C-alpha cells in the first residue's frame, strides 16, 4: 500500500474542498460500507494532579485550573459505569488516568489491571490511556484484556516542545512501540487548535502513516480551552480545516476508525455532519469527556438519526 508522506498529505489537503471530501467519502464507503458510527464512553479513573505540563490540559498540576484532584476510582464504581455504558449502546470503554505513566511495579497499576480484567468481561472493546508504559506494563495490560491503548502524538515533532516540556515526542513514540510489541491496537491522534500550523497537523499525520501496523484508531481532538492553562485564550478551530484534516486522515489511513473526539460541543450539527461525511466514524458518547463537557446522549442520538447513520454493534477486538 502507498504510504503517505508529508508532501503527499499536503497535496491532498490542498485540493478543492469538495474534491477532497468526495474522495474521502469514496474511500470511506469502500472500507466502511455499513455507514455506522461507533460510540465510545470515556471515564476518568484518576483525575487531576498530573506531573506533566501539557499546556492544553486541565489536569496538569502545573496550572491553577480549579480542578479537584482525585485518587484512583474504586473498581466497583468503574465497573458500574462500564455496565451503564454498555447498556446505553457503547461498544468501547476508555479509561483515562492523569499520570505521567505507569510501571509494572506500581501498586495502583495492579488495581488498574484488576479493573481491566473485570471490565473486559462485559464484551466491549477496552481501551486505557495511562501515559507512558514500560514494555512489561504493556504486556500485562494486554494480558489483562486491554484491546487498544490510547497515546496521542498530539502535534508535530517540531511543535511538541512548545506544548509539553516534561516529556518528549520520542518518549511518546517509545510507549507506542511498547504497545505494538505487546500486541495491543494503537489509538493515536492529536489535538488541533493549539496554535500550530496546518503543516504541523499534517506532519503529525505523516508520523502516524509510518506506524507499522497502522493505528487502529485516530482521535482528532479540537482544543477545549481550559481556564488557567497557557492555552485558555486560543481561538476555536476553523470547521473547514477540521473537515480537511479528517478527510486526509480517512484517505491516508483507510482502515482506521477516525474519531471525532474532544470539542464536538463547540461544533454545530452541520459541522459534525460534514465531519462524518468526510470519514469520521466514531465519537465519544456521554455527557462528559474526562473533565470537559460533551454533547448530551439525546442530542447525539437525534443527530445520528437525522443523518441516517447507524450505530456500530459490539464486535470486540479479541485479545488473542
When asked if residue 259 is in the footprint of ligand SAM (CB under 6 A), the reply is no
What is the pairing mode between strands 101-102 and 36-46?
unpaired
Peptide bond into 66 cis (omega under 30): no
When asked if residue 152 is in the footprint of ligand DTB (CB under 6 A), the reply is yes
State which of residues 60, 147, 152, 294 lies at the interface with ligand SAM (CB under 6 A): 152
Q: How far apart are CA 164 and CA 180, in angstroms?
A: 24
Confirm if 10 and 199 have CB atoms less than 8 A apart.
Answer: yes
State which of residues 91, 155, 261, 312 lies at the interface with ligand DTB (CB under 6 A): 261
Residue 151 near which of ligand SAM, ligand SF4, ligand DTB, none (CB within 5-8 Å, type-dependent): ligand SAM
Residue with smaller CB distance to ligand SF4, 70 or 238: 70
Of 173-181, 250-258, 271-279, 289-297, which segment contacts ligand DTB by CB under 6 A?
Answer: 289-297
Place of cell 514494555: 135
C-alpha cell at 142: 494486554
Contact map string, positions 32 to 61, toward ligand SF4, x by CB under 6 A: ------------------x-x-x--x-xx-
Q: Among the options 40, 86, 92, 127, which is catalytic?
A: 127
State which of residues 90, 91, 129, 140 lies at the interface with ligand SAM (CB under 6 A): 129
Q: Can you tell me whether residue 38 is helix, strand or coil?
A: strand
- The minimum distance between CB 131 and ligand SAM, in angstroms, equals 4
Q: From the CB of residue 107, how many other CB atoms can be counted at a distance below 10 Å?
A: 7
When asked if residue 206 is in the footprint of ligand SF4 (CB under 6 A), the reply is no
Residue with smaller CB distance to ligand SAM, 30 or 68: 68
Query: Which CA distances in Å does 67 have to 50, 155, 243, 270, 292?
Result: 11, 25, 31, 32, 11
Residue with smaller CB distance to ligand DTB, 42 or 248: 42
Query: Which CA distances in Å does 261 have to 7, 30, 133, 151?
Result: 26, 23, 23, 14
**Which residues, numbered 156-215, are part of the site for ligand SAM (CB under 6 A)?**
191
Q: How far apart are CA 89 and CA 314, in angstroms?
A: 8
Confirm if 152 and 54 have CB atoms less than 8 A apart.
Answer: no
Strand partners, 220: 190, 260
Confirm if 167 and 100 have CB atoms less than 8 A apart.
Answer: yes
Which residues have a catalytic role annotated?
Answer: 50, 54, 57, 94, 127, 187, 259
Which residues of the shown chain bind ligand SAM in the complex (CB under 6 A)?
56-57, 96, 98, 129, 131, 151-152, 154, 191, 221, 223-224, 226, 262-263, 290
Which residues of the shown chain bind ligand SF4 in the complex (CB under 6 A)?
50, 52, 54, 57, 59-60, 98, 131
Amino acid at each position: 500500500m502507498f504510504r503517505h508522506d508529508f508532501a503527499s498529505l499536503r497535496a491532498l489537503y490542498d485540493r478543492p474542498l469538495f474534491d477532497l471530501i468526495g474522495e474521502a467519502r469514496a474511500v470511506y464507503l469502500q472500507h466502511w460500507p455499513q455507514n455506522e458510527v461507533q460510540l465510545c464512553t470515556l471515564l476518568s479513573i484518576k483525575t487531576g494532579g498530573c506531573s506533566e505540563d501539557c499546556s492544553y490540559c486541565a489536569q496538569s498540576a502545573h496550572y491553577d485550573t480549579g480542578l479537584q484532584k482525585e485518587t484512583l476510582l474504586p473498581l466497583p464504581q468503574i465497573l458500574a459505569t462500564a455496565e451503564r455504558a454498555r447498556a446505553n449502546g457503547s461498544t468501547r470503554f476508555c479509561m483515562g488516568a492523569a499520570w505521567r505513566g505507569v510501571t509494572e511495579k506500581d501498586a495502583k497499576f495492579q488495581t488498574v489491571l484488576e479493573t481491566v480484567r473485570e471490565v473486559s468481561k462485559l464484551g466491549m472493546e477496552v481501551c486505557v490511556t495511562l501515559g507512558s508504559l514500560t514494555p512489561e506494563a504493556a504486556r500485562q495490560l494486554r494480558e489483562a484484556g486491554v484491546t487498544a491503548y490510547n497515546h496521542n502524538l498530539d502535534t508535530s515533532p517540531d511543535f511538541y516542545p512548545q506544548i509539553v516540556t516534561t516529556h518528549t515526542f520520542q518518549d511518546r513514540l517509545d510507549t507506542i512501540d511498547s504497545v505494538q510489541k505487546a500486541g495491543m491496537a494503537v489509538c493515536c491522534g492529536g489535538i488541533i487548535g493549539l496554535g500550530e500550523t496546518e503543516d504541523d497537523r499534517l506532519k503529525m499525520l505523516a508520523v502516524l502513516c509510518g506506524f507499522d501496523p497502522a493505528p487502529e484508531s485516530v482521535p482528532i481532538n479540537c482544543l477545549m480551552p481550559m481556564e488557567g492553562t497557557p492555552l485558555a485564550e486560543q481561538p476555536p478551530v476553523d470547521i473547514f480545516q477540521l473537515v480537511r484534516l479528517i478527510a486526509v486522515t480517512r484517505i491516508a489511513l483507510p482502515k482506521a476508525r477516525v474519531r471525532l473526539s474532544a470539542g464536538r460541543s463547540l461544533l454545530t450539527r452541520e459541522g459534525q455532519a460534514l465531519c462524518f461525511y468526510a470519514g469520521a466514524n466514531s465519537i465519544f458518547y456521554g455527557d462528559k469527556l474526562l473533565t470537559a463537557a460533551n454533547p448530551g446522549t439525546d442530542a447525539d442520538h437525534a443527530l445520528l438519526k437525522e443523518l441516517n447513520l447507524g450505530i456500530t454493534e459490539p464486535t470486540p477486538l479479541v485479545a488473542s
